Structure 1
Amino acid sequence: MKVLVTGAAGFIGSHVAHALIDRGIEVVGIDTLNAYYDPVLKKARLERLTVSPKFSFQQADVSDRDQMNGLMADNPDIRIVVHLAAQAGVRYSLVDPYSYVNTNVMGQVVLLEACRKLPSLEHFIYASSSSVYGQNTSLPFKESDRVDAPGSLYAVTKRAGELTATAYAHLHGIPQTGLRFFTVYGPWGRPDMAYYGFAKAICAGEPVTLYEGSGLSRDFTYIDDITSGVLAVMDHPAKAGEARLFNLGGDHPEKVTRLIGLLEETLGRKAQIEFRPRPAADMESTWASLEAVQKLSGWKPETNLETGIGIFSAWFRNFQGF
């Protein structure tokens, strides 16, 4: 079996690629290696993958029609696509909205059009986000909730990806599954994520910015749980013409203040906290209902925040040299 993983140098993409290789699956990985955050980290993730003969890599942009058409022509035996490439980050969508539309919307359309040329395609799995729940306040978030009040352009582009998938399933029969990820963390993570930024600030003796609000909490999800969730969905594919959506979360919201406390414990340093007003684009709380994915596959997260942050902090100290 051959699987295409887009965003293979990314945080989730690299972990999913490793898990597929461990199953003996041939993986074709693509990534732009853009400079949204330090490409050195992306290249380090890739180096860990390229030691395997089961992995091949191409630097490519999912929004480039010629590159995607050429990729499919060179790999007509791709059976599953795991589309994780995206312009990530809620707040950065206020800075450069065009990159979100180009990568997250145009990129998904271009990739799906190219996938129509694959004779053996069995399943198209793609990354959505908990951000699509936007201004919803009813917890936990369920896939059946209305998602027509986005709180950021990032959320708009992720919801557009879901609607695009539904249309392509209906029009072209491509089996589709979208996964709404909830605050993924762990080793080899993204430096733009809050937990990573907190760790850097704590170790450097710099102020940690914490947004005001006693209810500020997130459904933190450890990377290995996200990876096993992706594979569980892959093992239970959608049918032709079907477009599904599932939450993948930790199923246990934690206050951000507890996250900081665990980082202080595992890094052995105290945080200097500065409180600021919460940006309008940031949600106050998130919590994933997992009923749907558990009914499908039996998947459930296994790693609690204390264990996950301990593993992350050990990796962080080693990788960052603290």
Structure 2
Amino acid sequence: MSVLVTGVAGFLGLHVAEALLARGEAVLGIDDLNAAYDPALKEARLRRLLGRERFGFVRGDVGDPAFLDGWATQHGGDVTGVVHLAAGRSRKHPSHPREEVHQRIAGHLVLLALCRHRLPQLRHLVHAESGLPLPEDSDGTAGARRRKALRDAEIILGRAYARLYRIPQTCIRLARVYGPWSRPDALCQALADAIAAGRPLLLPEGGQVVRLAFVEDVAAAIVSALDDPPDPRSGTPYRLLDLAATEPVEMARLVSLLEDELGQVVEKRWGPAPPGAAAAALDDGAAAPDRRPATRIEEGIARFVVWHRKHYGRTLEEGRAAPL
């Protein structure tokens, strides 16, 4: 028996795969290693998994029905769980809506069809839906409306397959995830890069607060959810699990923690928040977390910086102020 992890060379995919392998699961990984951001980082993550006992990898696009059909012919009979993380979000999507629709919706629909037709032992499908807006999003913009429509479409499709074909599913909403092996465009990564290079930081005025979740805590929550599928005999075996309502962290404190760990203090410049920043900031009415973080922010930042120093162990080029 095995677990399929799509997007296995991604930031969260790597940590979910490692958590599953650590407890003795067989993991089958799929990733197309696309250029949404530096493919070399994805390849470095993948090298941590390749050669591990009980891990197998195939490069391919989960939005391609022919590829998945061929993959299922060899591996589908043993899959009991799926963690679908391949539909990540790219910052080039605002000007490429067709690519976003393909990645988010077509890929999700193809995977649902795979679960229905080609995975006879499947007990549970877990997939991640990012509920956090991009910084450039703001209420009423075409990009914000499109992203909301795509999130709604993913849930509608999932509920339909759960009800009609009794496929137990959990949709997980995520906060900003940080930690070792993070994406280059992630908040902590952008801050750390600027601080390590001694570049001034352009920060939003008004004491902005963000919610952060350490990647290993999120991976553990996903694996725990995978172990507890909704009852397939229920009316619609589909649930939403909110992991976005994590502990709040003030931006100024986050910068201070990174400066302390990196041993570098940089100039801060304060300016108006960019469009959409209010939507990405803390909502005072946010729900309580479904799972309290096991890693305190001080520990998480320290562990992130250890990795950052090792992976980016060079002097970063000087540049202009890094806006957030």
**5 Å matches for 1:292-307?**
293=290, 299-307=291-299
Following the alignment from structure 2 to structure 1, what is the Cα–Cα distance between the partners of residues 31 and 67?
Answer: 12
1:5 aligns with 5
2:98 aligns with 98
Following the alignment from structure 2 to structure 1, what is the Cα–Cα distance between the partners of residues 138 and 238?
Answer: 24
Is the alpha carbon distance of 1:175 and 1:135 closer, same or farther for their aligned partners in structure 2, counting shifts above 3 Å?
Answer: farther
Amino acid at match of 1:202: I
Shift of 1:4: 0.3
Following the alignment from structure 2 to structure 1, what is the Cα–Cα distance between the partners of residues 138 and 160?
Answer: 25
Following the alignment from structure 1 to structure 2, what is the Cα–Cα distance between the partners of residues 185 and 311?
Answer: 10
Following the alignment from structure 1 to structure 2, what is the Cα–Cα distance between the partners of residues 279 and 105?
Answer: 28
Which of 281, 286, 303 is the aligned partner of 1:285? 281
RMSD: 2.3
1:80 aligns with 81
- In percent, how many aligned pairs have the same letter? 38
Which of 153, 157, 170 is the aligned partner of 1:177? 170
Following the alignment from structure 2 to structure 1, what is the Cα–Cα distance between the partners of residues 190 and 109?
Answer: 33
Are the counterparts in 2 of residues 132 and 156 from structure 1 also a CA contact under 8 Å? no
**5 Å matches for 1:62-141?**
62-75=62-75, 76-89=77-90, 91-117=91-117, 118-131=119-132
Number of matched residues? 302
Shift of 1:22: 0.9
Following the alignment from structure 2 to structure 1, what is the Cα–Cα distance between the partners of residues 171 and 213?
Answer: 17
Are the counterparts in 2 of residues 211 and 276 from structure 1 also a CA contact under 8 Å? yes
**5 Å matches for 1:1-322?**
1-75=1-75, 76-89=77-90, 91-117=91-117, 118-131=119-132, 151=144, 153-214=146-207, 216-240=208-232, 241-249=236-244, 251-282=246-277, 283-286=279-282, 289-290=287-288, 293=290, 299-322=291-314
Are the counterparts in 2 of residues 129 and 155 from structure 1 also a CA contact under 8 Å? no
1:150-201 Cα deviation digits (max 9, x unpaired) = 9464444233222221111112111110000111000011111121011111
Amino acid at match of 1:321: G
SS in structure 2 opposite 1:244?
strand
Are the counterparts in 1 of residues 230 and 238 from structure 2 also a CA contact under 8 Å? yes
Are the counterparts in 2 of residues 262 and 309 from structure 1 also a CA contact under 8 Å? yes
2:322 aligns with none
Which aligned segments of 4 or more residues in structure 1 are displaced greater than 6 angstroms?
Answer: 132-136
Shift of 1:209: 3.2
Is the alpha carbon distance of 1:205 and 1:6 closer, same or farther for their aligned partners in structure 2, counting shifts above 3 Å?
Answer: same
TM-score by length of 2: 0.86
Amino acid at match of 1:263: L
SS in structure 2 opposite 1:219?
strand
Are the counterparts in 1 of residues 63 and 111 from structure 2 also a CA contact under 8 Å? yes
1:141 aligns with none
Following the alignment from structure 2 to structure 1, what is the Cα–Cα distance between the partners of residues 15 and 218?
Answer: 9
SS in structure 1 opposite 2:183?
coil
Are the counterparts in 1 of residues 168 and 230 from structure 2 also a CA contact under 8 Å? yes
Is the alpha carbon distance of 1:229 and 1:96 closer, same or farther for their aligned partners in structure 2, counting shifts above 3 Å?
Answer: same
Following the alignment from structure 1 to structure 2, what is the Cα–Cα distance between the partners of residues 156 and 124?
Answer: 22
Shift of 1:21: 0.7
Following the alignment from structure 1 to structure 2, what is the Cα–Cα distance between the partners of residues 4 and 135?
Answer: 35
Following the alignment from structure 1 to structure 2, what is the Cα–Cα distance between the partners of residues 209 and 112?
Answer: 43
Is the alpha carbon distance of 1:318 and 1:277 closer, same or farther for their aligned partners in structure 2, counting shifts above 3 Å?
Answer: same
* Larger-gyration structure (1/2): 2
SS in structure 1 opposite 2:35?
coil
Following the alignment from structure 2 to structure 1, what is the Cα–Cα distance between the partners of residues 171 and 304?
Answer: 27
SS in structure 1 opposite 2:132?
helix
Are the counterparts in 1 of residues 128 and 174 from structure 2 also a CA contact under 8 Å? yes
Instruction: Extract unaligned runs of 5+ from structure 1.
Output: 137-148, 294-298
SS in structure 1 opposite 2:246?
coil
Amino acid at match of 2:202: T
Is the alpha carbon distance of 1:187 and 1:100 closer, same or farther for their aligned partners in structure 2, counting shifts above 3 Å?
Answer: same
